[in-house]
C-alpha cells in the first residue's frame, strides 16, 4: 500500500494571520502554547506547518 503524501498549506508570505496553536510547539528558542493569541506572517506559518504539521495551527488572515 502506498502512503498518502501529506500536503502542507502555503500561506501568503505578505499577509499577517491571527494564530492559535493546537498543541505546544517549539520554534527556535520560543515555545508557543495553545492558550496564547498570536500574530504571525504567512512565511512563519508555512515553516511551522512544514516542521510540526498542518494540524498544529489554526490561522485566519487579519
**pLDDT at residue 7 in the model:** 72
Q: What's the number of domains the chain is made of?
A: 1
Q: Please state, in angstroms and rounded to a whole number, the distance separating the CA atoms of residues 40 and 16.
A: 6
Backbone phi and psi for residue 57, each to the nearest 5 degrees, phi listed first: -135, 150
Answer whether residue 42 is part of any domain: yes
Q: How confident is the model at residue 3 (pLDDT cuts 50, 70, 90)?
A: low
pTM equals 0.80
For residue 23, the domain's CATH number is 3.40.5
Cell numbers for 49: 506547518
Instruction: Convert the pLDDT of each residue in 9-33 to its tens digit.
Output: 789 999 999 999 999 999 999 999 9
Domain range spanning residue 33? 16-61
Answer whether residue 33 is part of any domain: yes
Mapping DSSP to helix (H, G, I), strand (E, B) and coil, where does residue 51 land? helix
**Letter string b/e over residues 2-28, b meaning 16 or more CB atoms within 10 A of that residue's CB:** eeeeeeeeebeeeeebebebeeebeee
**pLDDT at residue 5 in the model:** 58
Instruction: Convert the pLDDT of each residue in 36-50 to its tens digit.
Output: 999 999 999 999 999
**pLDDT at residue 24 in the model:** 97
Amino acid at each position: 500500500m502506498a502512503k498518502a503524501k501529506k500536503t502542507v498549506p502555503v500561506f501568503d508570505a505578505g499577509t499577517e494571520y491571527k494564530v492559535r496553536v493546537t498543541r505546544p510547539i517549539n520554534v527556535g528558542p520560543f515555545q508557543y502554547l495553545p492558550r496564547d493569541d498570536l500574530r504571525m506572517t504567512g512565511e512563519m506559518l508555512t515553516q511551522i506547518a512544514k516542521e510540526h504539521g498542518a494540524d498544529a495551527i489554526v490561522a485566519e488572515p487579519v
